[in-house]
Amino acid sequence: MACTHLNGTAVKYLDMDVMGRVAVILVCVMPLGGCASSSVATTTTISENLTGNWQIQSGTAITASSTGGVFLTGALTANGAQVAGTINVTAPCIGAGAQSFAGAVSASGILTLDATPLPDVDVQLTLPASSASPLATGTISSAGVVCATAFSGAAVGEQIANLSGTFAGPVTTAAGSGNVSMALTQASMANANGQFPLTGSLTFTGTGCTETLAVTGTISGVGLTVASATEPVAGQNYVSLTGATNAAASQIAASGILFEPSPCSSSASSSSTYAGTLVLQ
């Protein structure tokens, strides 16, 4: 594999076609003496580190949802040098949708993925030599046959750790505050859409009351949603949470925790939405 060094930085490249042209260039910092290794140990480590929840997007930081440009989230599973998974793709001229991928990791750490079956989606990604620095930076671009203008810009990519654990912290709303504790278990296998199922419970503790509800949901990339039911039902307590975690899955920034009725309220028709950061205990 060819590699260009700029002031001690090894620049690595990823090309992707997603119903058009999508190119991702990721950068990893490495010693000048070695851009890639052909040893079996290196290939095995890279392959094992690939399994899990991934997000690659335009911009300079990982965000809970797309802020424009190309946005990729989904699941990859590695078995030796073979890799397969489902990636959710949002990009200019391409729209949004989940695509199945299959491919392999070469001895030099180059991941090749192809959409199966068509439409044509091809990926080539030079992986970081170590998982010690999970955030990869570079550029990403896309162009489709119906595009008036091609897109290109900076990009970042990250593998997200398993979200299993208990998260707790204070939450607030305009009418008051309380504390939320949420115990979650993330499934080891993704669903058909490349999302990882979540199960658990959410407990709200306020002045003189405690309310606990079972919740289920999914995580894909850093973004997650959980709820006690698919939608509120009259006469039943309901809660839903929308938020985002980080690469280490050590916290959840909850942008909206909706309760119907409001916790600690005697009014069955009330509702309230809280926000706060829940930290892994």
pLDDT per residue over 98-145, tens digit each? 877 778 877 876 666 665 664 444 555 556 655 565 666 666 666 555
- Please tell me which residue, 196 or 268, carries the higher pLDDT value: 196
Tokens 């997650």 locate to 224
Query: Is residue 102 a contact partner of residue 117, using CB atoms and an 8 Å limit?
Result: no
**CATH number for the domain including 219?**
2.40.128.620
The Cα–Cα gap between 131 and 254 comes to 27
Domain boundary, last residue among 160, 184, 208: 160
Structural domain including 224 reads 165-280
Do 118 and 204 belong to one domain?
A: no
Do 109 and 137 belong to one domain?
A: yes
Domain boundary, last residue among 111, 127, 160: 160
Portion of the chain with pLDDT greater than 90, in percent: 36
Q: Can you give the pLDDT at residue 257?
A: 97
Domain boundary, last residue among 160, 178, 196: 160
Do 123 and 181 belong to one domain?
A: no
Do 232 and 104 belong to one domain?
A: no
Do 127 and 263 belong to one domain?
A: no
**Is residue 158 scored above 90 in pLDDT?**
no
**Residues whose CB falls within 8 Å of the CB of residue 180, separated by 6 or more in sequence, listed in order:** 168, 169, 170, 171, 202, 203, 204, 205, 254, 257, 274, 276, 278
**CATH number for the domain including 117?**
2.40.128.120
The Cα–Cα gap between 56 and 140 comes to 9
- The number of folded domains in the chain is 2
Do 86 and 182 belong to one domain?
A: no
**Is residue 169 scored above 80 in pLDDT?**
yes
